[in-house]
Amino acid sequence: SSYRPPKATQVANFTSNVSLNVISPYTINLHSLAERVIGMHNENPNRAQLALLNLLFRSVGGTPDADLPMGGTSSSSSDDEMQGEEEEETNLETMDTEDWARVVTDLVDDMRFAPAQQILLCADPLGAVHQQNSHGDDNNDDEDEKKKGPKQYALGAAEFRKIYKEFWYILGYVALTEGGMATNTQQEEEEEAPGSVVRLDAELAKELIMRVIELSPVGQPDVRAGATLAAISMSHAVLDQSAQLVKKMDVAERQLQAAKKGKNSSKAEALKVRVDSLKRSAQDLQEVVMGLVVQGLLVHRYR
């Protein structure tokens, strides 16, 4: 989804409707992909979250056999008799600790057979090839070998890590702006009506962050790294939106003071509604990051 040149309609839609900077050649395509995921989530949250978890699993070296079943026709089994069978969609809400332990164990067993050059994401920022080649170099007396080992890494894995982080950042942004409880932020920015109420879907962003944080304590470092990167990237998007709301709140407060001085009571009342709305939205976003990520994920990983 990321490498294809975006269509003209995608570019036009992004330019006119999205207040997001293009930070890489992949941004527009990743935004379209995130929109499809959030659209799916608005209709079937469980299925969308399954797709996101399977993305994480496949990124760290899992095969289709380790995917969480999403329902529909199964095509991952090697047994011809199993081809075309209907599989039952995994219900994430009913999974307990034992179920998650079994899923992670199966995934880790699957990952052991993945060649290093085929693993897209791992705990080492330079990729699994670099991680594999770096083992044992500290005790090697040959200086040439010491220099040679750490320099070997897969360029594709390093690039995928950037794309992976950008996708989760954009997903966090789209969750906030296009979730079921969000208003049209682009339209709101254009109109800047004094009494306009700003709503971002903080609950959806919180739900997605919580879902990937569940995998951050696992023992396997690559799975842990994939979940942590996803959660932190989404939290960056949440903080960026919070900062934008604070800027708008400062502007609205100055306009409110001017309206009070001008004794324009109707405009002042409308601006007060806007200021209160912006303040509540900013606080909601900050609580998502402070509660889940700072006091939860970061403290746990630091320990």
Are the C-beta atoms of residues 97 and 132 closer than 8 Å to each other?
no
Is the Cα dihedral 76, 82, 83, 89 positive or negative?
A: negative
Buried b / exposed e along 220-255 (16+ C-beta atoms within 10 A): bebbbbbbbbbbbbbbbbbbbbbebbeebbeebbeb
pLDDT band at residue 153 using 50, 70 and 90 as cut-offs: low
| Tens of pLDDT, residues 169-209 | 999 999 998 887 677 544 444 445 555 666 788 889 999 99
Q: What is the C-alpha to C-alpha distance for residues 66 and 31, in angstroms, rounded to an integer?
A: 27
pLDDT band at residue 56 using 50, 70 and 90 as cut-offs: very high
Are the C-beta atoms of residues 156 and 130 closer than 8 Å to each other?
no
What is the pTM (predicted TM-score) of this model? 0.83
- β-strand 86-87 against 72-73: which pairing, if any? antiparallel
- Token pair for 102: 């079994």
The arithmetic mean of pLDDT across residues 16-36, rounded, is: 87
pLDDT band at residue 253 using 50, 70 and 90 as cut-offs: confident
Q: Is 80 or 159 the better-scoring residue by pLDDT?
A: 159
